[in-house]
Amino acid sequence: MALAPENQLSRLTLDQLCINSIRVLAMDAVQKANSGHPGMPMGMAPVAYLLFTRFLRHNPRNPQWYGRDRFVLSAGHGSMLLYAVLYLSGYDLSLDDIKRFRQVGSKTPGHPENYLTPGVETTTGPLGQGFGNGVGMAIALKHISARFARGDTTLFEPRVFAIVSDGDLMEGVASEAASIAGHLGLGNLIYLYDDNHITIDGSTDLSFSTEDVCKRFEAYGWHTQAVEDANDLDSISRAVEKAIAVTDRPSLIRVRSHIGYGSPHKQDTAEAHGKALGAEEVKLTKQFYGWPTEPEFYVPEQALTEFRRCVERGAEYEKDWNRRFDAYARENPQMAAEFRALLAGDLPAGWDQDLPQFTARDSLATRESASRAEQAIARRVWALFGGAADLNESTFTDITDGGDFARDNYAGRNLHFGIREHGMCAILNGIALTGLIPIGSSFLVFTDYCRASIRLAAIMKLHVIYVFTHDSIGLGEDGPTHQPIEHLTALRAIPDLTLIRPADANEAVEAWRVAMTHKAGPVMLALSRQKLPTFDRTQVAPASGLARGAYVLTETAGRPPDIILIATGSEVQLAVGAKPELEKRGFAVRVVSMPSFELFEQQDASYRDSVLPPSNRRRLAIEAGATLSWYRWVGLDGDIVGLDRFGMSGPYTEVLKYFNFTVDHVVERALQLLAR
């Protein structure tokens, strides 16, 4: 007669029961899905068990409680480790959810998604991103604490823990973020490195054999430790305690683990890392653990009871935090109100009342007019925080009198990212996840370095503001390597990213208004280096039309248009200049400023049709970049003055003329279109 499951497990300690519960759930879920990565969850189960039951301050019943410690699984391919421990700890994740791992519509997707699964802090998957997100969280928590703390710093400064993998540490974005973290002395950051010597292709000896990770991180300014066996709970606990005690540096703990720990035949193999073990191997592994082979997804009651103590402890953590915050609020009512507004995502009353207005006498690059708008907002919105990738002298994003964020001044609002565009954008995502409104700036061409992080900001619908300048060949002498061509089109292809390319100073101001209030995803401002004329708004439509993505800037009075000229950014002036020349030839002309495709797409059909009447098929788009994204708006009967080749070096006026971005050329192309 077979023993009951509880009797089969009687020889295991409570710790072993809990750890093996994680392993078995991971094995069974991956096997049932026939997809996923069981190895890392099995190898790092002891670490996750200790973190969630002994070290993390968290409340499974309120995953968004501010005072919680943050946990990031940067090695997102090991998602079943996180799902298992969240279920076991009492988060709103059921055993049925575990059984639906990697299935359509489930709360347990292949990689962790913060908008799907309670307890998942950030969307990870592309390796290195979670590493950068955690650094961003630590930066933001330091900044918030510096603003609000009055003696009790633990009230406003939770800690950030992460599990990172070999793959994370190979990715360059992690190196960028690690260097910043060490420079800033982020003592609230504790990463545990799963040193399992395996990647998808096989042993790390193939590509990662000579690097001493601990020495590398020491060189970055991190505190490092090593634990030689992931199953040595006492050593892991001591290492975590030491890391918590180090408050002037971030900490890395190297933990030597074995992929697929306990799997008799597949320890330390890429096969265990990247796919299901197979039914027979699962059975043998359970027998090795002394675990019942049936039923699947079996969790002993003792283990579940032990894990669920997290619920009771979490309630006490939050109750104590609330008690301390209430006392703080009585002594600091205005600061407490500010803090509550931060958590709610509310902007202060009158936040936009100082926004500048410009006249036709002003001739400014939109990077400059946008900067003036940013400064006016920053004076009233303290949560605006960030900086440039070593290009503030070109992007003008420094907050005046904001001070530099540094290890001796976490209250500073200007964060110097150095020449680390990718690290910057991964960090911005972590900052946004705390409630601050982060700004990051560089040249538009360098979004090539940032795309993975920008895409994840869009997936998570984070309120990140990107300020990317030098938006066209109009930057001039730096030439093809710095002149964006395909970038506007490539960025428009990212779902839920709102790209805005303002045409003049007042549109740049309105672009900032949208950037502050649009909370359904990141906003990118694409701004000019060269000066642009400011339209006389007494003669053309108000710049507030920018909020609708496209609007009729000016048109021939009293007649339906024979042709519609549509442009963005610096090229709108060409359309405006071409209008009177075409009118002299007897044509009625409508000029549409279209700073944002995405905002225009969100308008109802009646508004879109009022701007671009479907009956008018003579449409000419003008933009100093790739033409691909414009065909939706001009149709097959329209035309595009664009650029589908790389630029060249020279004074910007000469470069623009060379590539036919002139009023005369726009008129010529319009007449060709009208003659069809």
Beta bridge mates, 630: none
**CA-closest candidate to residue 586, choices 603, 561, 604:** 561
Q: What is the mean pLDDT of residues 302-329?
A: 97
> In the prediction, which pLDDT does 6 show?
60
* 5, two tokens: 């499951």
* Other Cβ atoms within 10 Å of 60 Cβ, number: 25
Give the model confidence (pLDDT) of 357-372 as tens digits: 999 999 999 999 999 9
The per-residue pLDDT of the chain, averaged, comes to 94
d(CA 402, CA 415): 10
Q: Residue 237 pLDDT more than 50? A: yes
> In the prediction, which pLDDT does 2 show?
46
DSSP class per residue in 525-556:
EE--SS-EEPP-TTTS--GGGGGGS-EEEEE-
Q: What is the mean pLDDT of residues 476-490?
A: 97
Give the model confidence (pLDDT) of 392-442 as tens digits: 999 999 999 999 999 999 999 999 999 999 999 999 999 999 999 999 999
Is 335 in a helix, a strand, or coil? helix
347 DSSP assignment: P
d(CA 630, CA 618): 14
Q: Residue 625 pLDDT more than 70? A: yes
Q: Which long-range contacts (CB under 8 A, 24 or more apart) does 293-298 make?
A: 296/28, 296/32, 297/24, 297/25, 297/28, 297/29, 297/95, 297/98, 297/99, 298/5, 298/24
Is 256 in a helix, a strand, or coil? strand
Q: What is the mean pLDDT of residues 642-652?
A: 97
Between 36 and 270, whose confidence is greater? 36
> In the prediction, which pLDDT does 277 show?
85
Active site residue 421: yes
> In the prediction, which pLDDT does 270 show?
44
d(CA 486, CA 628): 9
Give the model confidence (pLDDT) of 593-611 as tens digits: 999 999 999 999 999 999 9
> In the prediction, which pLDDT does 57 show?
97
Sorted by where each starts, the structural domains of the chain and their CATH numbers stand as 5-313 (3.40.50.970), 363-533 (3.40.50.970), 546-674 (3.40.50.920)
How distant, in Å, are the alpha carbons of 18, 135, 201, 274, 561 from that of 198?
A: 25, 25, 8, 10, 65
Kindly name the residue from 171, 281, 306, 421 that is annotated as catalytic: 421
> In the prediction, which pLDDT does 324 show?
95
Q: What is the mean pLDDT of residues 126-148?
A: 97
For the CA atoms of 237, 240, 241, 242, the dihedral, rounded to the nearest 10 degrees, stands at 120
Note whether 425 and 456 are within 8 A (CB). no
d(CA 550, CA 590): 12
Least confident of 139-153, 481-495, 556-570: 139-153
Alpha helices in 332-481 (DSSP H): 333-344, 366-378, 392-395, 421-432, 447-460
Q: Residue 346 pLDDT more than 60? A: yes
475 DSSP assignment: G
> In the prediction, which pLDDT does 271 show?
47
Sequence-separated (6 or more) residues with CB below 8 Å from residue 598:
492, 497, 498, 499, 549
The band of 125, judged by pLDDT with boundaries at 50, 70 and 90, is confident
Least confident of 140-154, 394-408, 472-486, 532-546: 140-154
**CA-closest candidate to residue 37, choices 204, 251, 271, 206:** 271
* 619, two tokens: 């449409």
Q: Residue 39 pLDDT more than 50? A: yes
Residue count (the chain): 676
Sequence-separated (6 or more) residues with CB below 8 Å from residue 176:
132, 420, 422, 423, 424, 426
**CA-closest candidate to residue 85, choices 56, 123, 113:** 56
Q: Residue 1 pLDDT more than 50? A: no
> In the prediction, which pLDDT does 196 show?
83
Round the CA-based radius of gyration of the chain to a whole number and report it.
28
What burial letters (b/e) apply to 75-91, b meaning 16+ CB within 10 Å?
bbbbbbbbbbbbbbbbb
Q: What is the mean pLDDT of residues 81-95?
A: 98
Element (H, E) at 573: helix 572-584
Beta bridge mates, 593: 551, 567
* 545, two tokens: 């039309």
Give the model confidence (pLDDT) of 518-571 as tens digits: 999 999 999 999 999 999 999 999 999 999 999 999 999 999 999 999 999 999
- Give the dihedral sign, CA 430/432/437/439: positive
For the CA atoms of 376, 377, 382, 384, the dihedral, rounded to the nearest 10 degrees, stands at -120
